[in-house]
């Protein structure tokens, strides 16, 4: 901390002779805008950040692909690690705490993007099965930042939801059920849990072969949390026997390597981009900037509202008499269509020649991800005589312009 403080006071860094050095994942947006004032920035691919790269670094900023442990930081001056993501399973939290290293994450930053990913999966499965998605019972596993927001949106749209979250149940949260009960009564299952291997409620292979075999006929299964939450080998075997199941996987047990056989059996397959809206990534950067300012005991002089771009925002005007369900579907598709990401991943898998090319292709899809904004950036103009339409659009998160 003394070294970081001296750098910010423009005193020479005793090791490098320069101001604070920040090493960051190259896929974090607005790095210069938020962190340029602190000193020198070094951008690296997330999977290539290692101990060697941190030899004179004071701060490390990562996303979910970089695993950070106390051993990795041993012998480096790093005293602050910020992950611009909602999850922290890639961080050795106990080890970093024992080493006296401050850790910050960005809870909830990409929750809205994941909600819109799930909604797009529901729209697609409804089209593929000729079944109205709003008539199905959606079981949500994990009711934290993402699962809780998904439940709120679905309930506002009139969709029946079942909720499972053992840690919250132990804290006295009402309205929660056991996982096996949720599986028995859900037409759709969406996973939103962190990845844990130990403790009273581990989530590694939470959906194992036994539970997958007990899915109701015609179940829609969506995983946008962490790959190993579902036993991928067991899932592939079950799908080989159960063509009635519709599965969307955004996360993979062996990523960045995707099992092409499993991908072929999934109705939707995407490269870990459920929360990859620009807005979610921008919020993550802003939250870590604020956390670093608190760590350094200095005021935050920048706000996301000052820096966020408007590109991708727009307006859509609906004429009186527009059917509410049609308008909701079209509006959601305008903002995000999961079928585009599914097509890009499948094209990559069909093109590569070996596992190394597949890994590189997976990371390239994430690095070169196209512009994607969230529902609130699309203003939908409706007639004052259409209150039902307005209620549905507001429930889904669209801006109706007051």
Mean pLDDT of 86-110: 94
Cβ distance 206 to 235 under 8 Å? no
Mean pLDDT of 185-195: 97
78-95 per-position pLDDT tens digit: 999 999 998 898 999 999
> Would you call 272 a catalytic residue per the annotation?
yes
**Residue 36 pLDDT more than 90?**
yes
Tell me what pLDDT residue 4 has: 54
Q: What is the DSSP letter of 321?
A: T
Binning pLDDT at 50, 70 and 90, where does residue 402 land? low
Mean pLDDT of 213-226: 98
Q: CA 63, 337, 324: angle at the middle one, nearest 5?
A: 125
What per-residue string of b and e applies to 100-139 under the rule 16 or more CB within 10 Å gives b? ebbbbbbbbbbbbbbbbbbbbbbbbbbeeeeeebeebebb
235-251 per-position pLDDT tens digit: 999 999 999 999 999 99
Tell me what pLDDT residue 16 has: 33
Q: What is the pTM of this model?
A: 0.91
**Residue 380 pLDDT more than 90?**
yes
293, burial (CB in 10 Å: exposed 0-12, middle 13-18, buried 19+):
middle
Binning pLDDT at 50, 70 and 90, where does residue 383 land? confident
Name the least confident of 5-9, 169-173, 182-186.
5-9
Q: Choose, from 272, 344, 366, 373, the residue flagged as catalytic.
A: 272
Mean pLDDT of 311-316: 93
Both tokens of 179, joined, read: 């996982």
Task: Annotate 39-53 with DSSP letters as a single string.
Answer: EEEEEE-GGG--TGG
Residue corresponding to tokens 């132990």: 170
User: Looking at per-residue confidence, does 211 or 11 come out higher?
Assistant: 211
State whether residue 283 is helix, strand or coil: helix
Q: Which of 227, 211, 217, 225 is nearest to 262 (CA)?
A: 227
Tell me what pLDDT residue 15 has: 33
* Residue 131, H or E segment: none
- In angstroms, rounded to a whole number, what is the distance separating the alpha carbons of residues 130 and 391? 25
- In angstroms, rounded to a whole number, what is the distance separating the alpha carbons of residues 165 and 169? 6
CA end-to-end span of the chain, whole Å? 47
346-360 per-position pLDDT tens digit: 999 999 999 999 999
Q: Which of 94, 63, 99, 64 is nearest to 80 (CA)?
A: 99
State whether residue 258 is helix, strand or coil: coil
> Of all residues in the chain, what percent are helix, strand and coil, respectively (each to 5)?
45, 15, 40
* Residue 353, H or E segment: none
Binning pLDDT at 50, 70 and 90, where does residue 11 land? very low
**Residue 337 pLDDT more than 90?**
yes
Tell me what pLDDT residue 2 has: 53
- In angstroms, rounded to a whole number, what is the distance separating the alpha carbons of residues 64 and 131? 35
Mean pLDDT of 164-184: 97
**Residue 14 pLDDT more than 50?**
no
Mean pLDDT of 274-283: 96
Mean pLDDT of 354-376: 96
Cβ distance 236 to 262 under 8 Å? yes
Binning pLDDT at 50, 70 and 90, where does residue 13 land? very low
Binning pLDDT at 50, 70 and 90, where does residue 295 land? very high
Helices (DSSP H) in 60-165: which residue ranges? Answer: 70-73, 93-98, 111-129, 145-156
> Would you call 226 a catalytic residue per the annotation?
yes
Both tokens of 40, joined, read: 């020198």
Residue corresponding to tokens 């994430």: 366
Q: Choose, from 226, 265, 366, 373, the residue flagged as catalytic.
A: 226
Q: Could you tell me which residues come within 8 angstroms of residue 347 by beta carbon, excluding any fewer than 6 positions away?
A: none
State whether residue 164 is helix, strand or coil: strand
Binning pLDDT at 50, 70 and 90, where does residue 264 land? very high
């Amino acid at each position: 901390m003394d070294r970081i403080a001296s750098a910010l006071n423009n005193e020479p860094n005793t090791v490098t002779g320069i101001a604070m050095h920040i090493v960051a994942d190259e896929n974090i947006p607005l790095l210069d805008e938020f962190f340029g004032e602190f000193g020198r920035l070094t951008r690296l691919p997330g999977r290539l950040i290692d101990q060697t790269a941190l030899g004179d670094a004071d701060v490390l900023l990562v996303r979910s692909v970089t695993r950070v442990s106390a051993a990795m930081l041993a012998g480096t001056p790093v005293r602050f690690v910020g992950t611009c993501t909602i999850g922290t399973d890639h961080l050795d939290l106990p080890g970093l705490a024992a080493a006296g290293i401050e850790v910050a994450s960005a809870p909830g930053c990409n929750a809205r993007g994941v909600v819109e990913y799930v909604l797009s999966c529901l729209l697609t499965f409804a089209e593929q099965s000729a079944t109205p998605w709003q008539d199905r019972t959606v079981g949500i596993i994990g009711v934290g930042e993402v699962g809780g927001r998904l439940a709120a949106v679905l309930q506002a749209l009139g969709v029946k939801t079942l909720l499972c979250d053992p840690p919250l149940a132990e804290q006295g949260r009402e309205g929660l059920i056991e996982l096996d009960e949720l599986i028995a009564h859900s037409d759709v299952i969406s996973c939103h849990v962190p990845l844990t291997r130990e403790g009273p409620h581990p989530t590694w292979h939470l959906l194992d072969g036994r539970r997958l075999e007990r899915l109701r006929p015609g179940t829609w299964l969506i995983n946008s949390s962490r790959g190993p939450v579902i036993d991928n080998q067991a899932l592939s075997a079950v799908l080989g026997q159960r063509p009635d199941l519709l599965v969307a996987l955004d996360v993979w047990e062996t990523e960045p390597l995707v099992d092409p056989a499993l991908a072929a059996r999934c109705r939707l397959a995407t490269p870990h981009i459920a929360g990859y809206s620009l807005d979610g990534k921008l919020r993550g950067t802003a939250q870590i900037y604020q956390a670093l300012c608190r760590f350094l005991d200095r005021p935050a002089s920048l706000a996301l509202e000052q820096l966020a771009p408007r590109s991708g925002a727009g307006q859509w005007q609906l004429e009186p008499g527009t059917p509410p369900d049609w308008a909701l579907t079209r509006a959601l598709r305008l903002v995000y269509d999961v079928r585009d990401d599914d097509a890009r991943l499948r094209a990559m898998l069909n093109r590569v020649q070996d596992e190394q090319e597949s890994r590189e292709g997976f990371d390239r899809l994430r690095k070169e991800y196209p512009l994607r904004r969230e529902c609130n950036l699309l203003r939908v103009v409706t007639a004052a005589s259409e209150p039902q339409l307005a209620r549905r659009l507001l429930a889904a998160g669209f801006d109706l312009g007051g």
